[in-house]
Chains A and B, each alone.
Chain A
């Protein structure tokens, strides 16, 4: 069975500092990987995704993530955090279900940005 682990429940960084959010997955086949962001009381917005090819993927809002098969990881990074990045971040793995895919999410990492 597939699973996603986000080991950091809460991370605090200062505005302008770099950020790395960790994600480890367990899945027997080639994974489809996603990072979503959720602002308070809102739905989930896709930041970026990895299906195949270049293991470093670029997303919206200046985020990037690197797929490392040997470490079963898909960590999210941003070189300089803005106060508006404060939100909850979810990593997810997609697996086949019928003709579509289902997502299994991690438990999320809450990001606080200090001025």
Chain B
């Protein structure tokens, strides 16, 4: 069964450092989402891509976060510089065609010290 891949699974960094997360969606899925999930809360959307274009990044803290999906396939989410409050699980999801269901990857758990 096809799955969304994410790496790394865990990342520990010091504040002010740069971090990057990678996501490979299910093959053929044109829509890709990045979510942030703070412990004890539900996921919150950071950015939505349709192919290589950003559809919505209104919740992305653009002073420190950036996201790209250059060839419309895999995607990278970057934080520079990381802050203590960025400690969270970062989830990637993808959706294909006319299907309404989003499929989630295992996530990257970030700890900023």
A interface residue numbers (CB < 8 A to B): 4, 32, 34, 36, 41-46, 49, 51, 90, 92, 94, 97-103, 105-108
Contact = CB atoms under 8 A, between A and B. Distances in A.
Interface string B65-105: 00000000000000000000000000101010000111111
Nearest to A42: B106
Given A44-B43, A103-B45, A105-B42, A97 B55 contact: yes
Interface string B1-43: 0001010000000000000000000000001010000001111
Interface residues of B, number: 26
A101 B94 CA distance: 11
Nearest to A91: B42
B44 A105 contact: yes
Interface of B: 4, 6, 31, 33, 40-45, 48, 50, 55-56, 91, 93, 95, 100-107, 109
Nearest to B103: A46
B42 A43 contact: no
Contacts of B41: 107-108
Contact of B104 (A32, A43, A97, A108): A43
A103 B50 contact: no
A81 B42 CA distance: 23
A90 B93 CA distance: 15
A26 to B, nearest CB: 15
Contacts of A90: 42-43
A12 to B, nearest CB: 17
Contacts of B56: 97-98, 102
Contacts of B101: 34, 46, 49
19 contacts: A34-B101, A43-B6, A43-B107, A44-B93, A46-B101, A49-B101, A90-B43, A94-B100, A98-B48, A98-B55, A100-B95, A101-B95, A101-B100, A102-B33, A102-B56, A105-B42, A105-B44, A107-B40, A108-B40
Nearest to B42: A105
Given A94-B100, A97-B56, A102 B45 contact: yes
